[in-house]
Amino acid sequence: MSKIQFEYSEKFAREMDLKDPLSQFQNQFYFPQINDKKAIYLCGNSLGLQPKSVKNHLDRELKNWAEMGVDGHFDGEDAWFFAKNRSKPALADILGAMEHEVVAMNNLSVNLHLLMVSFYQPTKERFKIIVEAGAFPSDQYMLESQVKFHGYDPAEAIIELSPRLGEHILRTEDIISTIHGNAEQLALVNMSGLQYYTGQIFDMKSITAAAHQVGAYAGFDLAHAAGNAPLSLHDWDVDFATWCSYKYMNSGPGNVSGIFVHERFANQTELPRFAGWWGHTQEERFKMEKGFIPMHGADGWQLSNSDVLGLAVHQASLEIFQEAGIKNLRDKSEKLTGYLEYLIEQISGDSGVLEIITPKNPSERGCQLSLLINRGGKAVFDEWYDQGVVGDWRNPNVIRLAPTPLYNSFLDVFRFAQILEQSLKKFA
């Protein structure tokens, strides 16, 4: 991204929007109203907005159900038997994977547990797991229960990595050093791809390489990375990953997750897994015979048949991603987040009221900026909401803002900055 000379002015913001090749995509989403005004929605890190095309996608599946009943499983161009296949091209692009390495299924925590069956097989010698301290609670609970299930003490088996004293983000060299320092006992590195609280993108390529060097697996929770950060899971040699689709992939509250399993495991039928009939080889699935034969690739980890209505909503958003282009979205994201960062720094100056704890290097972050607010606290955040800004408060004093390139504009960011300036004068 070429260096842009940002300006704190409405004229500049409007000029940037006029030059933005993705500006028209904002019109493809519904925005909530706050106090009878269109919200400045900076909360895609928690729940993405609804694409307007969702209704058409759902209506088509409801029509198929109404007109065909059970025959909808096999008849027509939208046959439900193949429903998962429609999402594969877009997911492969978003995750940096081959199509047979990804499949949409289940929810994130369910998928983490299923993947742990295959990739966490502790022994007396190798039983430890590395994770970042302060991982999202679902990951913490999942790891704790998995370790206990295998008969180990979480306090001994789970290594939590914390930033250095006085710092907010983890240094890659410290992660690598911890991996090598536990080489003989390490079974798995299972971290976030993008840390939900700080917004830091971890160096997944280097972390994976280090894990493999000591004989451990490497897997990632991409809940805040998928659809946000650039990913190349196949080339990075990542063993497995999972994500959710309702944040940056705008697929509706609690909607379908997905998994990535590297192609080197595509035909490893001996790899432990919990089996279900939708993971059984497609050609023989309806013979209803004993003896599980997994499908090739990530599909072999499926359990139940596809959530057709959920996948229809998911597909509405994925088609927008394909139309916009992953590279174009990343280019805009860097500019839009850079503009937000610039305005926050211009307004807060050296007052000490706000501190951005997300990495400054664009390659180490997605579109989220996490702000440590040292004076005013929740009153400032509540004032923002009253003025139409939807962000995200995290105790004890962090505000997360995510200018999402598909539906946020430079004018959105500028208008937020005006509200920020007013609120700091009032409360801080």
In 3D, which of 190, 191, 187 has the Cα closest to residue 201? Answer: 191
Regarding whether 147 and 259 lie in a shared domain, the answer is yes
Residues 258 and 190 in one domain: yes
Residues 387 and 318 occupy one common structural domain: no
Domain that holds residue 405: 10-50+326-427
Q: What is the pLDDT of residue 288?
A: 86
Same domain, 105 and 143: yes
Residues 143 and 126 in one domain: yes
- If asked whether residues 195 and 151 sit together in one domain, one would say yes
Task: Give a yes or no: residue 332 inside a domain.
Answer: yes
Over the chain (428 residues), what is each successive 10-residue block's mean pLDDT? 85 98 98 95 97 97 96 92 95 98 97 97 97 92 97 97 96 98 98 97 98 98 97 98 97 97 95 94 87 95 95 98 97 98 92 92 97 88 94 93 98 97 82
Domain boundary among 266, 300, 322: 322
Domain count, the chain: 2
In this structure, the answer to whether residues 350 and 394 fall within a common structural domain is yes
Question: Distance between CA atoms of 202 and 207, rounded to whole angstroms?
Answer: 8
State residue 428's pLDDT score. Answer: 59
* CATH number of the domain encompassing residue 274: 3.40.640.10
In a domain, 74, yes or no: no
Q: Are residues 409 and 280 in the same domain?
A: no
pTM of this structure? 0.95
Residue 68 included in any domain: no
